[in-house]
Structure 1
Amino acid sequence: MSTFNWVFNLFLILFIANLHSIKCTQSFSSDPYNQQQLDKVLKLPGQNFSVNFSHYAGYVTVNKESGRALFYWFFEADEDPSSKPLVLWLNGGPGCSSIAFGLAEEIGPFHVEKDGKTLYLNPYSWNKVANILFLDSPVGVGFSYSNTSTDLLSNGDKRTAAENLEFLLRWFERFPQYRGRDLYITGESYAGHYVPQLSQAIVRHNRKSGEQIVNLKGFMVGNALTDDFHDHLGLFQFMWSVGMISDQTFKQLNIVCDFQSFIHASEHCERMLEIADEEIGDIDMYSIFTPPCTGNFNKFNRPWRRTRKFGLLRKAYDPCTEQHSKVYFNLPEVQDALHVRSKNSPLKWETCSDTVNENWKDSPRSVLNVYRELLHSGLRIWIFSGDTDAVIPVTSTRYSIDALKLPTVSPWRAWYDDGQVGGWTQEYEGLSFVTVRGAGHEVALHKPKQALTLIKSYLAGDSMPTLQLVSDS
């Protein structure tokens, strides 16, 4: 090969490599406004309709040394976003994606059709009343990633709270128009840990800095993992009361699983849970009165099975919504539209990460101490519960609230939606509790209209609606 040809080939290789570098870095900007525009989602594959609101998706680096970056998807309110509060939504697991569940199944404006390729508008999206920010947290969940592979083996509650706070601080730098906006944090299931822990981190950060850097106004959690003892006690009582397990199994569960964690159950407790499995049969524990999605279902469907979301559309209920999302968010054209860094994120997008779940490092047995601290901070705190969930059932949540020993402000009563009982509610000093009748673990999946009524009341600071009598005239 001649010297000229050798030099020319080397130049060509370097030129191609440089083009690749430009392609990989073209979505980065040191200017926050420019980066915000680079994150803007113009149109999604399968979106055969137009919308009036803007939405953005991308990454925020929360640890430069390890290269940890969290993926977000933000939807502005569909009307007058400048006047609406900001709501952050978190899903739990630990290890489950807020894009998969909160956004694509529950409160987001876009849901996925059965073909896994087409979107439709959710008429009960929460962006009708707020600007909604969905976050995949921690790294290893959804499209969130780390350049240090061992980070996926060292996630836990403490680091998640710290990095969720770091995410918010950095996100407000990218979206300065939302800095100072009223912020509410919401979520479900294992987010029963994430949400109050992040709220605590924000309150402490503001106090330490001497200013309201993050304008947190309150938080709300649904079917939330709260306290191991009460969660167990309420779960076994719920399963027995609706006829899912025998008297003998109920008694033994209360004896051998007393004060234990679902994550670290004893051998004796595990054996009794296996017996309970057999008695319960093949039903959807997340929604006991609706049909399960057919297929390999049973082994992923118990709250004590760690390989599944733990406490985890006006159309007919579809039990297979999760499967539709798996198809859609693995489409390369969808990931391109969402600015996913395919080089860094997992090769295959999963609704829940077994790696994150099975290597979780710290999970306190109770977050009631966090509630006790925050009850005096002036935050608006609500807890809601779908009453057909057998993962974190309404009985568990009631036991945990009772343990706080709060004075009652407004006694137990029914609340209404369009003249029908939507559920029941009780207001305590510093906390409100709301049940949603007929809803499972993912309340807005089963009862989307009632869930929108819930968030409207919460954001307005109003009690849940009473029955409005209609005159005959």
Structure 2
Amino acid sequence: MVMTKRQIFVVFMVLVLLVALVCASHVTINEEEEADRILQLPGQPKVSFQQYSGYVTVNHVAGRALFYWLTEADHNPLSKPLVIWLNGGPGCSSVAYGASEEIGPFRINNTASGLYYNKFSWNTVANLLFLETPAGVGFSYSNQSSDLFNSGDRRTAKDSLEFLLRWLDRFPRYNQREVYITGESYAGHYVPQLAKEIMMYNKHSKHPINLKGIMVGNAVTDNYYDNLGTVTYWWSHAMISDKTYRQLINTCDFTHQKESNECDSVYSYAMDQEFGNIDQYNIYAPPCNKSDGSKATRQTMRLPHRPHQTFRQMSGYDPCTEKYAEIYYNRPDVQKALHANITKIPYKWTACSEVLNRNWKDTDVSILPIYREMIAGGLRIWVFSGDVDSVVPVTATRYSLAQLKLETKIPWYPWYVKKQVGGWTEVYEGLTFATVRGAGHEVPLFKPRAALLLFKSFIRGEPLPKS
């Protein structure tokens, strides 16, 4: 059939229109992404990689929006995986901890006037997406104030999945990228719970998220075994007396979040009378002290055992970094550069939210069933522990993981960093466990070189080096 000139013209115009529509859709996405681009943070050194930050609305009815900060890989970002980092608490900020004192490319200087480069940043290996979740953490917010008083594990996981789906719409170049979820402490709940949500979503989606694995450090895992392991750590490291240890074992029901008054009084006695003035997040280090001589305290961190209020330090590290973060991220020029606090939240940005922490509504008693699902689903799973943390100690994690009863593939051995023992590790069928020698609760803060080597091994799917 030979088309007339008029028909050819009509076909041509239709094609032009289709091309225009496709281009327009790309322009819309690119414009939304471009609006989130960070041009320069105040006091930031020059870098070669791109950064983006802003909000993704996860519930339009309630007006819940989660804040993120993406630091792309410093070389060949298009060929690198996407790594999501979550901090715990619940109620603590991934911007304050993960981004600013652990795995991010910048550190805040001691006057909070600017930033300096972290040569052990994980963005030398991957694109890093720091997420402040749930709403009420850091810059993330809700227009429904009751949301701050009824957050819990379930809604956090569902909102985090909604965030990721909407974020991938905004950044389509990450759609088929390998995705890994990482975090520490109470993110021992967040990370596996989000992984489970993604696995469920992928079963019914034509466009599945390319989730490859998870890695968690000093992770809250199972109420009973975490608590038993914590009390055992305190006793085995001479933090408590034999008498107090026996009282805790005999009086406390380690399964529940809320303990009896008798058990609580033993916990209080141990902390007030026997621990002494130590940093529970690193038992061999002195705490940060305020200029007035009083002890500076981290926000209460809700854990399956008892909450603690301490700071952390190790020789060679500044223990007051959280304090600098709270100054830096409350600066109007910093918030403007980050596209943050656009709704003028009626409270200051804080590293942790006391409101969320005190009003947490639902928490899984054990995450071990999700581990079994992830193992069955073929995800790469790594769990690591800084071995001088008494808050979620190595004994707690070992007791918890032992309940999985996994077969050993590579027996226990020391792994090395620059010819020194970096820690110990064992590879099981479906899971790798590693300790980091001399590291506290925030492993990348205390042992950045070892943490980066750990992360590289995880991303490559290779056992840690034996020499």
Tell me if both proteins adopt one fold, taking TM over 0.5 as the criterion. Answer: yes
| Deviation (angstroms), 1:30 | 9.5
Give the match for residue 193 of structure 1.
189
Q: Is the 8 A contact 2:299 2:354 kept in 1?
A: no
1:43 lines up with 2:40 in the alignment: yes
1:219 alignment partner, one of 214, 217, 233: 214
| 1:152-231 to 2 correspondences below 5 Å | 152-209=148-205, 211=206, 213-231=208-226
* Cα 1:190/1:153, change in 2 over 3 Å: same
Which deviates further from its counterpart, 213-222 or 295-304? 295-304
Q: Give the conservation status (yes or no) of the 8 Å contact 2:394–2:435.
A: yes
Aligned to 2:393: 393
- What does residue 376 of structure 2 align with? 376
> Within the alignment, does 1:244 sit opposite 2:239 as a pair?
yes
Give 1:341 shift: 2.9
| Equivalent residues in 2 for 1:285-324, closer than 5 Å | 285-294=280-289, 295-297=294-296, 306=307, 316-324=316-324
Return the alpha-carbon distance in structure 2 between the equivalents of residues 459 and 200 of structure 1. 20
CA shift at 1:268, angstroms? 1.2
**RMSD between aligned residues:** 1.9
- Structure-2 residue corresponding to 1:81: 77
Any conservation in 1 of the 2:168–2:174 contact (CA below 8 Å)? yes
* Percent of matched pairs sharing the same residue: 54
Counterpart in 2 of 1:427?
427
Question: Structure 2 CA distance, aligned partners of 1:306 and 1:148?
Answer: 27
CA distance in 2, matches of 1:188, 1:322: 16
Contact 2:300–2:357 (Cα < 8 Å) also in 1: no
CA–CA distance in structure 2, aligned partners of residues 411 and 259 of structure 1: 30
Distance change >3 Å, CA 267–CA 182, structure 1 → 2: same
- How much has 1:316 moved relative to structure 2? 2.2
What amino acid does structure 2 have at the position aligned with 1:139? A
Contact 1:89–1:186 (CA<8 Å) still a contact in 2?
yes
| CA displacement 1:191-225 (0-9 Å, x = unmatched) | 0000000000000110122x452100000100000
Q: Indicate how the Cα distance of structure 1 residues 269 and 83 shifts in structure 2: closer, same or farther if over 3 A, else same.
A: same
For residue 270 of structure 1, the aligned residue among 259, 264, 271 is: 264
What one-letter code is carried by the residue in structure 1 that aligns with 2:40? K
- Cα 1:348/1:298, change in 2 over 3 Å: closer
Contact 1:308 1:352 survives alignment (8 Å): no
Structure 1 equivalent of residue 62 of structure 2: 66
Instruction: Summarize deviations over 1:87-137 as a string: whole Å, max 9, x none.
Output: 000000000000000010100001101101210000000000000000000
Q: Which amino acid aligns with 1:321?
A: T
CA–CA separation in structure 2 for the residues paired with 1:32 and 1:309: 44
* TM-fit CA distance, 1:301: 7.2
Give matches, 1:404-415, under 5 Å. Answer: 404-415=404-415
Number of corresponding residues: 434
Task: Give the counterpart of 1:98 among 87, 94, 102.
Answer: 94
Output aligned runs, 1:326-341, within 5 Å. 326-341=326-341
TM-score, with normalisation over the residues of structure 1?
0.89
Tell me which of 140, 146, 150 is aligned to 1:150. 146
Which stretches in structure 2 are left out of the alignment for 5+ residues?
A: 1-25
User: Kindly tell me: are residues 214 and 44 of structure 1, through their superposed partners in 2, closer, same or farther at Cα, counting changes over 3 Å?
Assistant: same
Give the structure 1 partner of residue 21 of structure 2.
Answer: none
TM-score (norm 2): 0.90
Counterpart residue identity of residue 284, structure 1: D
* 1:342 Cα offset (Å): 3.9
In the alignment, the residues of structure 1 paired with residue 86 and residue 310 of structure 2 have an alpha-carbon distance, to the nearest angstrom, of: 13
**CA–CA separation in structure 2 for the residues paired with 1:281 and 1:56:** 43
**Partner of 1:424: helix, strand, or coil?**
strand
Maintained 8 Å contact 1:146/1:344? no
- Distance across 2 between alignment mates of 1:153 and 1:201: 23
DSSP-derived class of the 1:224 partner: coil
Instruction: Report the Cα offset of residue 343 of structure 1.
Output: 2.5
Distance 2:319 2:49 in 1: 29
User: What's the counterpart of residue 16 of structure 1?
Assistant: none
Secondary structure in structure 2 of the residue aligned to 1:70: strand
Give me the whole-angstrom Cα distance separating, in 2, the residues matched to 1:416 and 1:259: 36
Q: CA deviation at 1:164?
A: 0.3
Alpha-carbon contact 1:36-1:174 (below 8 Å) kept: yes
Cα distance between partner residues in 1 of 2:315 and 2:438? 16
Gapped runs of 5+ residues in structure 1?
1-28, 468-473
**Contact persistence 1:407–1:429 (CA under 8 A):** yes
CA distance in 1, matches of 2:298, 2:465: 40
Q: Is the 8 A contact 2:297 2:309 kept in 1?
A: no
Distance 1:102 1:307, change over 3 A: same
- Contact 2:299/2:353 (8 A) holds in 1: no
- Contact kept, 8 Å, 2:267 with 2:306, in 1: the verdict is no
CA-CA distance at 1:373 after TM superposition: 1.4
| Counterpart contact for 1:112–1:120, Cα < 8 Å | yes
Residue number among 281, 285, 291 corresponding to 2:276 in the alignment: 281
CA gap of 1:299–1:332, structure 2 versus 1, over 3 A, is closer
Q: Deviations over 1:376-407 (max 9, x none)?
A: 00100000000000000000000011010000
How much has 1:299 moved relative to structure 2?
8.7
- Contact 1:140/1:346 (8 A) holds in 2: no
Q: Which residue identity is paired with 1:143?
A: F
Residue 318 of structure 1: how far off its partner (Å): 1.0
Within the alignment, does 1:56 sit opposite 2:56 as a pair?
no
Task: Determine the C-alpha separation between the residues in 2 that align with 1:377 and 1:109.
Answer: 32
User: Separation in 1 of the partners of 2:48 and 2:393?
Assistant: 38
